[in-house]
Amino acid sequence: MFDRTEQEVKWYSRKSKKGKTHSYKRVKTVIIFECDNCHEEFKRDKGQVDPKRLDNAYNHVCPECDPKRFAQKKGAEQRRKLNTTVDGLLTIDQL
Could you read off the pLDDT of 36-89 as tens digits, one per residue? 889 889 999 999 988 888 888 888 888 888 888 888 888 888 787 777 776 667
Concatenating the DSSP letter of every residue in 35-76 gives -TTT--EEEEEGGGS-GGGSSTTS----TTS-HHHHHHHHHH
Among 3-7, 21-25, 34-38, the range with the most confident prediction by mean pLDDT is 21-25
pLDDT of 3 reads: 85
Order of strands, sheet of 41-45, starting from the edge strand that comes earlier in the sequence: 2-15, 21-34, 41-45
Alpha-carbon distance of 91 to 68, in angstroms, equals 30
Instruction: Please report the pLDDT score of residue 87 as a whole number.
Output: 67
- The pLDDT value recorded for residue 86 is 65
Does the pLDDT value for residue 22 go beyond 80? yes
Contact 31, 43 (CB under 8 A): yes
Euclidean distance between CA atoms 29 and 60, whole angstroms = 18
DSSP bridge pairs for 45:
30
Which carries the bigger pLDDT value, residue 62 or residue 24?
Answer: 24
